[in-house]
Amino acid sequence: MTPESYLFTKTIKMNLLVAKLMFILHLHSGFIVATDDVDGRTIYSVPSKNIEYAYKSEIIDFMQTGVFTYDETLDDKVK
């Protein structure tokens, strides 16, 4: 592994960690609201962004990219 690819991998993991921490912060402060359970997975709403019925991984992906898409196949990369 080259030093550049190692740093890139570390940067991606840090971004995931920061997104996960931001998710937890937003959840506890009320910006993200746990709405219901679907097939044993909690779904959330982000009222300020008009996002409803989203899984945690979709919201974390939105925090990383700035673009929200529904994709129930996304896994929670940071548990």
Note the pLDDT of residue 7.
Answer: 45
Note the pLDDT of residue 11.
Answer: 53
Question: Residue type for 75, please?
Answer: D
28-72, pLDDT tens digit by residue?
999 999 999 988 889 999 999 999 999 999 998 888 888 899 998
**Proportion of the chain in helix, strand, coil states, percent, rounded to 5:** 50, 20, 30
pLDDT confidence tier of residue 19, bands split at 50, 70 and 90? confident
For range 5-22, the mean pLDDT: 67
Note the pLDDT of residue 14.
Answer: 57
Note the pLDDT of residue 2.
Answer: 59
